[in-house]
């Protein structure tokens, strides 16, 4: 048994609190309830995909998306929406649901133009103050693997409500050090799984937002 495949969201959940991660993702004692914000985010992603892929008209409710999405649609290059990517433990591209898949990720939009790529992730948060570029790193690294001709990836977190665009640039010479960083994170999660040690990591979210009621830091205790 292995804890793979892993993803950006699984690593972040584990780092936030190993104990909560165990109960939510491994033993699955609790189900994460869908919030209104989550539903809204899902709708925005679907609208963006249909607009860029199919040219489908944007509903009036989401009219504010037209400007930034139209700029992306007009950008030169082959476009891949909601692109599912998988990598083996040898960092070779594979099917998203392959038996030997080791890492998984879904890129909201990938644009390939000659030896450059653009990787965009849509965000519906109301603030970009604490933007985490980790997801961009992983999507960029996977893009380099899926498209070996790519030498540079221009990536961005597009905060469609906050109207902020957080940019980052990755070049192919950065790949080894970035993978070392993320593999180290995965190994910490793998060790916890193998040794079955899931220590709680208290934070300001424990008392009101954690569903794991048997944890000593939960507000229900």
The pTM of this model reads: 0.91
26-49 residue pLDDT tens? 999 888 778 888 999 999 999 999
- What is the tens place of the pLDDT at every residue in 117-147? 999 999 998 888 888 999 999 999 999 999 9
Categorize the per-residue pLDDT at 204 as very low, low, confident or very high, splitting at 50, 70 and 90. confident
The helices-and-strands tally (H runs, E runs) of the chain is: 7, 6
Per DSSP, the three-state class of 122 is strand
Going 8 to 5 to 25 to 187, the CA torsion angle's sign is negative
Q: How far apart are CA 199 and CA 1, in angstroms?
A: 21
DSSP string, 31-62: -PPPPHHHHHHHHHHHHHHHHHHH-PPPPGGG
Domain 8-209 fold is Lambda Exonuclease; Chain A (3.90.320)
SS3 128: coil
Q: How confident is the model at residue 219 (pLDDT cuts 50, 70, 90)?
A: low
Nearest to 106 by CA among 76, 136, 83, 79: 83
């Amino acid at each position: 048994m292995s804890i793979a495949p892993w993803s950006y969201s699984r690593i972040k959940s584990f780092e936030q609190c190993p104990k909560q991660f165990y109960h939510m993702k491994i033993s699955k004692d609790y189900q994460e309830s869908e919030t209104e914000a989550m539903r809204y985010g899902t709708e925005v992603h679907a609208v963006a995909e249909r607009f860029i892929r199919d040219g489908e008209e944007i509903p009036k409710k989401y009219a504010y998306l037209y400007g930034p999405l139209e700029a992306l649609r007009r950008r030169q290059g082959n476009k891949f929406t909601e692109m599912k990517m998988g990598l083996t433990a040898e960092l070779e591209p594979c099917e998203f649901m392959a038996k030997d898949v080791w890492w998984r990720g879904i890129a909201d939009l990938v644009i390939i133009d000659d030896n450059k790529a653009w990787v965009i992730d849509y965000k519906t948060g109301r603030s970009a103050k604490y933007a985490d570029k980790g997801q961009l790193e992983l999507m960029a690294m996977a893009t380099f693997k899926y498209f070996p001709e790519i030498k540079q990836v221009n990536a961005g977190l597009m905060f469609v409500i906050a109207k902020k665009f957080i940019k980052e640039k990755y070049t192919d010479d950065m790949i080894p050090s970035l993978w070392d960083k993320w593999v180290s994170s995965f190994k910490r999660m793998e060790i916890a799984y193998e040794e079955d040690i899931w220590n709680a990591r208290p934070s300001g979210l424990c008392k009101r937002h954690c569903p794991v009621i048997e944890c000593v830091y939960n507000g229900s205790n």
